[in-house]
Every structure is written in structure tokens, then in C-alpha cells.
Amino acid sequence: MLEINNLHVKLEEEDKVILRGVDLKVEAGSVHAIMGPNGSGKSTLSYVLAGRDGYTVTEGSAKLEGAELLEMEPEERAAAGLFLAFQYPVEIPGVGNMTFLRTAMNAQRKARGQDELSAGDFLKLVREKAKALKIDADMMKRPVNVGFSGGEKKRNEILQMAMLEPRMCILDETDSGLDVDAMKLVSDGVNALRDAGRAFLVITHYQRLLDHIHPDVVHIMANGRIVKTGGPELALEVEKNGYADILSEVV
């Protein structure tokens, strides 16, 4: 599904190197988790994959089902099936949540050569998906993420994911700012989307999210590289002993 080879990235303005040769392969149907200390490059990886400005790729490649992501515009990546659930979902005053979702959905369908979804079909679909995430009609009417609580914003991300049905989902610290109940709700939303044709890359600081979304593979990232890869037990080890042991082992 996703294949990243020797990815090197620096900040455009500061000339500061963030990623120093990331190698990662995520197979369809699997859930991979990336853990790592602050500043290890986890969020940068997610932004670079989604196509945010401000980063320069100096070396390497990132392919989604064989197609080079790094050469695509952000909207092309989305149409190709990539989705990033933001760590900090963006507020857009003046743009209604429903309009936003429908515009996004139809833009992706258009890019893929599909017909636009009718207003009726769209409404039916969004109501059904929103209900499962306990997102009420009022939230849908409000401008995108404006006045939403932290938990509401994250649920809104998962709603977008559920509606857009991407093939490769990247969740950037989706657990941050969530209480126990919200975490359960968000995780259930993610788990409902697990499918043989879909893959997940879950970026997190903590094991607790992985109690709800069980990963097949866990990677530890440090200093711009994947330094260790293992099974779910690796996350438990981090939870218990912190990163220090693993990092000293690697170095």
C-alpha cells in the first residue's frame, strides 16, 4: 500500500534536517503504529506524505500503491486515497462543515472520474456516519471545527475519513486531547473502517490508543529514522520503560 524508501526531508526555511532516511512499508489490511519521543520527526513524516508546504525532500521516495506521492499536489494525493487525520484540525470560519464535506467528497469523485453524489444520497450517508460518531446535526451546520471542543474536532476528522473512504489513513496523534470516552468513540470509528483493502499508520505518543486500535506492527522513530520495528509488545515496552532503553540499545 505505502512504501517509503530512504526519505530525507529538511525544513525549507531553516535548512534544518528532520527526516534522515525513513524506510517504511505498510501492507494493505494492516495497522502500523509509529511511536517516538518529541521531535523525532513523526508529524513531519505525516505532513510530508500529505503534501504540506514548507518541507524540502532531498532524497528518497514515498509511493502509494506504486504511484509517487511526492510528485503530487495535496488534492491529488487525497484523490489517490491518502488521508491525514490532523493532530490539530483546522478551523475554517465561514465554511459550513456540511458544505466542506460535500465539496471534498465530490471533488475526489470528480478526480476519479465518478459522478457527483446527489444531495439526498450525501445527506443520508453523512447522517448515518455522523450518528455512529455521536456528531449531532448542529455540529454539521457549524463552520468547520469552529467552536468545536478538542474531542469534537477529532471525531470530525474520523467522520471525514469515514465519508471519504481513503485507502491509506494516517492518524497524527489523534489521541491527544481526548478523554477516555472520546478515545473509545474515535477508536471504534477507526476500527469500523478496518478492511482488507485499507491500511492505517497511527502516530502516537502513548500505548493507550493502541489498546483500542490494535496494531500489527509497531515502529519506533528517533532522530528522523525508524530505529526499531516489532510487534505490539514493542509499544508495551515503551509504556513500561520509556524510550531511553530502546534508544540506547539502537545507538
Point out which residues bind other proteins (CB under 8 A): 50-53, 73-75, 77-79, 83-84, 86, 89-95, 99-100, 103-105, 107-108, 111, 143, 160, 164
Nearer to other proteins, 86 or 148 (CB): 86
Quote the distance between the C-alpha of residue 145 and its chain's center: 17
Nearer to other proteins, 14 or 249 (CB): 14
Nearer to other proteins, 27 or 75 (CB): 75
Rounded Cα distance, 251 and 131, in Å:
48
Point out which residues pair with 82 in neighbouring strands.
168
Nearer to other proteins, 47 or 243 (CB): 47
Rounded Cα distance, 58 and 21, in Å:
10
Rounded Cα distance, 123 and 218, in Å:
38
Nearer to other proteins, 201 or 210 (CB): 201
Nearer to other proteins, 52 or 127 (CB): 52
Nearer to other proteins, 21 or 74 (CB): 74
CB of 42 to other proteins, least distance (A): 17
CB of 47 to other proteins, least distance (A): 9
CB of 239 to other proteins, least distance (A): 31
CB of 84 to other proteins, least distance (A): 6
CB of 103 to other proteins, least distance (A): 6
CB of 108 to other proteins, least distance (A): 4
DSSP calls for the chain: -EEEEEEEEEETTT--EEEEEEEEEE-TT-EEEEE--TTSSHHHHHHHHHT-TTEEEEEEEEEETTEEGGGS-HHHHHHTTEEEE-SSPPPEEEEEHHHHHHHHHHHHHHHTTPPPPPHHHHHHHHHHHHHHTT--HHHHHSEETTT--HHHHHHHHHHHHHHH--SEEEEESTTTT--HHHHHHHHHHHHHH--TT-EEEEE-S-HHHHHHS--SEEEEEETTEEEEEE-THHHHHHHHH-SHHHHHHH-
CB of 222 to other proteins, least distance (A): 26
